[in-house]
Structure 1
């Protein structure tokens, strides 16, 4: 995006921000903060060993107390979720995880570990959705927790999550930190919430190997040498190949940096996310470039096809290389520095002094990560070319190692069967409960009886204390509206006893008597003259006549027809022994039967029946699965 001749950076939403607030007691806060930074880097390096980041790695930098001015110096369109209020001295970092959400939860696990090993460290982390930790544990939150009163109220310390109960006003971060330091036990979350977080972020770093996949690929010797030197480069290469455009396709036809003439077999480590992206990205290379892929049925085709895609990814990276930033001639950087000066970021320090240099380095660091028009891939491409010139690409050495390469890992995990999906859903949401017909209809009745508005189901209103000196009326309930300009008002009189009587009359179903004997199924209808006569008689009945007369007449006419055969009947009970050929209808079973027939007609897809079952918390298997079991 271009504005006033300057490139603006628009933040993507696949990121996680983290703020580390250590307990600082020394007079020289900057020096103590740098010591904490070194401690954090040491723990991080050990914790993240052998981890392959999908895009950005975990990285923090020291920020002084006026660090909020760094974000105020940029355009508001490029701001992140980062708090714009003045914060105490802290460590700050931001990581873009791209398509692999597992990177975000790995960072959460790392933040937990940092708070365990560094006493007094309090951490806050957010992503593009805000307080994503609360979103993950939404089913276990206390009733008072809402998105409005939980903003900036979630902290991690001593290896545990803490949640501060707050009003609708946003809690200042500094106040939240102080509350956690004073009484941490008062704000610690329940075990259910911790267990829910542990399902996503627990078990690291030992769990890293579960997300890795190793395979043999036939790649140019330059690619093999680069991956041996820096295995993490595989992520950038695959991302570039999978997001290629028409310009990148022209680059792949040239293959100037990694020609396919000299290729070797090498073992490459991927994350499962990266391997799946590469395996499902189809590409047919130009044979004129030198790619001589075998037939798809050949044993060596998977290795050669995989290597061809990886080589094209490295070629795209190398083609995007640009030199490092020239700070003295970069117009965007100079404008950013002027904005910092106008806001007092440099605190009137003399240019070239130790304090000024420290603030300038912090500003360059922030600019390089957040605002620089020279994007990440350009820097990686330049570094890749520099490394390619310095490392040894001995093709004979790689060919000696080819004979001892282990076989590739099994990639059958790429195919997820319906049974595997059901297992994942069961592990995630629990086993499906077995519901009887009575329980099902009870849930349906309870669901239909609820009132739902914009904010959800209407809660029962609390009892209202009657006014002093006002007598409570007997027999009738009066609902008085608020005072209006109308002299008559809007008072409503409601007689609950009369209302209950009318409703009972409407729903009163009379059991047929045994005097309805008949010799044939059709004898109760009579001829057309009798039916017309009955209709005329019903029109003459007064409006205040009991509705039971109508119900008796209808039951008498329908008792011997075939319509009753379409309903499921309950087993005969002693109470109906005196009534010939009468079996009461099983209301629960008929309701469930009709809903199941509707669900089967939908073939398990979305529709009224599946929506109704979902609202009642019932999850059914597709009809095809039941047929296969039968």
Structure 2
């Protein structure tokens, strides 16, 4: 199930990015103060977390803001942000947890969250949503507020704008709180956080060049960019790794240092599962006989090459950001109209500037990771400009790597998750069946027994006969809208043709078949003429009758050895009360007795309906179109 995002339909969000917007109830709320409070609230959870591509951030959106990811809120003062999670879906759900945490601590906030699938929280609760909620009706309806999921009801706001929904949440939030099953479905998805976020981290002991060890010691967050550079490498970045100009200034003579790096499990898997040949300029690694030492050196080599690839790629493409220093921040304030056109140096300008400086000092503590990811080249140059040597890392004790059995034994966890989903689907199907059964019982009457008593098998034969004898159009036999009416279908010519070919016992074939009639048993025209000429020349009428009688006797003699005659109910038989194929009596006359067409028709349809076991099938579908309702088998299941 896919739900639309709050962005315009013509603009599709990146497939691996989650977006969020935070709206205060009061437009007079100071966004700067709110921003700081939110960052302080979430920082205990994010301080040591290694994000796959981007850290959790929030930015001020002061209207007009055409760059806002949610165009419908570009004229509303709010906070917004986005986070690229890539292959690490845990980053997205950790973000959901953080936003739920914010909504609990700030009850006067309404929060929207979406990704390329739209309101993906509803996808998690798809089995419990009201029937009216679908991708066409979910726009501007899904919010987080006071630690709960809210869905704006359709009965109150048939086609809400964002402002309409925000006003409704402010005035009537209890009316929009989602049902308990929907709440539980979403809460179960994030119930293990923040512990799940910590379990998602993996510490690995590696051997890397001293330059890489120096960078990791000062800025452990940069390892995510190194993994990204390695995993997304191309031909140009491979050339950079072959030279290792920045991180191996002394080439292969450089000694490797042992350090511990923290990665997400997704990053660790991306490194371990890829084969990569060490560059020729890379220092010599331990032999494969030393399994532990070789594994540490190989993993460290991939990280070092990833650093080199990322560093050179950013310098070559000129994508290095400026980071957030005071001057850059001040310029952004000027562009947004913060200084209200005041002259620099004026008393009011200085007051606003002083407030901005205070705000910058406070937010810089929380935005450091974001600045670092935005301008890694400059920071790496600053770190490597400091004095360091491989001896700095020899004296420190490095803990062993975490157990990575989770990488190879994930089948049980996957099966458990699939079984949980399967159980959820089965419960949903059972619920729908109960609803359908209750509705059917209500429509059919107070008791199934009375319905069975009202059922008349002769109605089947009458309905089928009426269906076959009505006239059809060039469109074929179509079911009428009102199934209680007779089907307007007539095939008189077809019945005449069939009677002329099959010839019931005691009847004379109609030799004057109307021109234009057709049958599957018609012979080719040339065959008919040949047979006619042969009959006129070689046989008399008496001889022809003799041949037909002899042919019929021979055929009957052949059929006596088969069970074909026992598969039909004859006119002088009774249908056994037992279910199944009728058996002819042992003393049945061997002479041909006519088949009871109506009885065989009813019996065959009832047998077909019984094999459906309550599911849709040809018998119930066919007679349902004619308005004939089969009774349920009261003995079934007893």
TM-score, with structure 1 as normaliser: 0.60
Does residue 185 (structure 1) correspond to residue 174 (structure 2)? The answer is yes
1:161–1:188 Cα contact (<8 Å) kept: yes
1:579 to partner: Cα distance: 5.0
244, 255, 265: which one aligns with 2:258: 265
Whether the 8 Å contact between 2:323 and 2:375 is mirrored in structure 1 is no
Other structure's SS at 1:215 match? strand
1:158 aligns with 2:149: no
Shift of 1:580: 5.7
Cα offset, 1:115, TM superposition? 1.3
- Cα contact 2:255–2:283 (8 A) shared by 1: no
1:15–1:94 contact (8 Å) kept in structure 2:
yes
| In 2, Cα distance between equivalents of 1:564 and 1:40 | 83
1:129 is displaced (CA, Å) by 2.8
1:279-428 to structure 2, matched below 5 A, reads 279-292=272-285, 294-295=287-288, 298-319=291-312, 320-321=314-315, 325=322, 349-350=341-342, 352=344, 353=349, 379-390=375-386, 393-402=388-397, 405-414=399-408, 416-417=410-411, 421-428=414-421
Query: Structure 1 residues 563, 263: CA separation in 2 closer, same or farther (over 3 Å shift)?
Result: farther
Mapping for residues 251-262 of structure 1, pairs under 5 Å: 251-259=240-248, 261-262=254-255
Q: CA deviation at 1:273?
A: 0.9
1:277-329 CA-partner distances (Å, limit 9, x unpaired): 111222112334434463388443221111110011111233234676599xx
Q: Is the 8 A contact 1:149 1:165 kept in 2?
A: no
- Tell whether the 8 Å contact from 1:17 to 1:82 is kept in structure 2 after alignment: no
Q: 1:211 to 1:324 in 2, by over 3 A?
A: closer
Gaps of 5+ in 1: 1-8, 72-78, 328-333, 365-374, 447-475, 477-491, 504-532, 544-552, 566-570, 593-630
Match of 1:109 among 77, 80, 97: 97
Q: Supply the RMSD in Å over aligned alpha carbons.
A: 5.0
Which of 165, 176, 189 in structure 2 is aligned with 1:176? Answer: 165
- 1:619: which partner in 2? none
Q: Return closer, same or farther for 1:160/1:558 CA change in 2, 3 Å cut-off.
A: farther
Distance 1:271 1:206 in 2: 14
Separation in structure 1 between the aligned mates of residue 90 and residue 421 of structure 2, nearest angstrom: 16
Aligned to 1:480: none
Which residue number corresponds to residue 221 of structure 1? 210
SS at match of 1:111: helix
SS of alignment partner, residue 401 of structure 1:
coil
Q: How many residues align?
A: 450
Residue 193 of structure 2 is aligned with which of 204, 207, 211?
204
Shift of 1:57: 1.0
Query: 2:52 is matched with which residue?
Result: 54
Shift of 1:577: 9.7
Change (3 A) 1:376 1:98: farther
1:112-123 map, 5 Å: 112-123=100-111
User: Which residue does 1:4 correspond to in 2?
Assistant: none
CA distance in 2, matches of 1:60, 1:382: 23
Contact 2:23–2:79 at 8 Å: present in 1 too? yes
Verify the 8 A CA contact 1:215 1:409 in the aligned structure 2.
Answer: no
**Aligned-pair CA distance for 1:109:** 0.7
Question: 1:426·1:432 contact (CA, 8 Å) conserved in 2?
Answer: no
Q: State whether residues 243 and 281 of structure 2, in contact with CA within 8 Å, keep that contact through their aligned partners in structure 1.
A: no
- Report which of the two structures shows the higher radius of gyration computed on alpha carbons: 2
Q: Quickly say closer, same or farther: Cα 1:24–1:378, change in 2 above 3 A.
A: closer
DSSP-derived class of the 1:276 partner:
helix
Query: Aligned equivalents of 1:409 and 1:560: distance in 2?
Result: 72
| Alignment correspondent of 2:239 | 250
* CA gap 1:150/1:213 in 2 versus in 1, 3 angstroms: same
C-alpha displacement of 1:236: 0.9
Distance 1:42 1:60 in 2: 12
Distance in structure 2 (CA, Å) of the matches to 1:430 and 1:111? 29
Could you say what secondary structure the match of 2:271 adopts?
A: helix
Q: Structure 1 residues 236, 580: closer, same or farther in 2, change over 3 A?
A: farther
Deviation digits for residues 99-144 of structure 1 (CA, Å, limit 9, x no counterpart): 2222111111101111111231221222233222223322211112
Q: Deviations over 1:323-364 (max 9, x none)?
A: 76599xxxxxx9x999x79xxx67962354469979999xx9
Instruction: Quote the residue 2:36 is aligned against.
Output: 38
The TM-score, its normalising length taken from structure 2, stands at 0.59
**SS where residue 236 of structure 2 aligns?**
helix
In 2: Cα distance, 1:326 partner to 1:226 partner: 18
1:6-21 maps to which residues of 2 (within 5 A)? Answer: 12-21=14-23
- Is 1:346–1:359's contact at 8 Å kept on the other side of the alignment? no
SS in 1 for 2:396: helix
Q: Distance in 2 between matches of 1:69 and 1:221?
A: 45
Mapped to 1, the partners of 2:352 and 2:83 lie a distance apart of: 27
1:234 aligns with 2:223: yes
Residues 252 and 559 (structure 1 numbering): CA distance in 2 closer, same or farther, change over 3 Å?
farther
Question: 1:56 aligns to what SS in structure 2?
Answer: coil
Distance 1:291 1:20, change over 3 A: same
Give me the whole-angstrom Cα distance separating, in 2, the residues matched to 1:398 and 1:495.
86
- Match for residue 86 of structure 1? 75
Cα shift at 1:380: 1.5
Name the structure 2 match of 1:621: none
Relative to 1, partners in 2 of residues 1:587 and 1:179: Cα closer, same or farther, differing over 3 Å? Answer: same
2 CA distance for matches of 1:156 and 1:10?
Answer: 23
How has the CA–CA distance of structure 1 residues 414 and 233 changed in structure 2, closer, same or farther, with 3 Å as cutoff?
farther
Deviation at 1:36, TM superposition (A): 1.4
User: Structure 1 CA distance, aligned partners of 2:375 and 2:230?
Assistant: 17
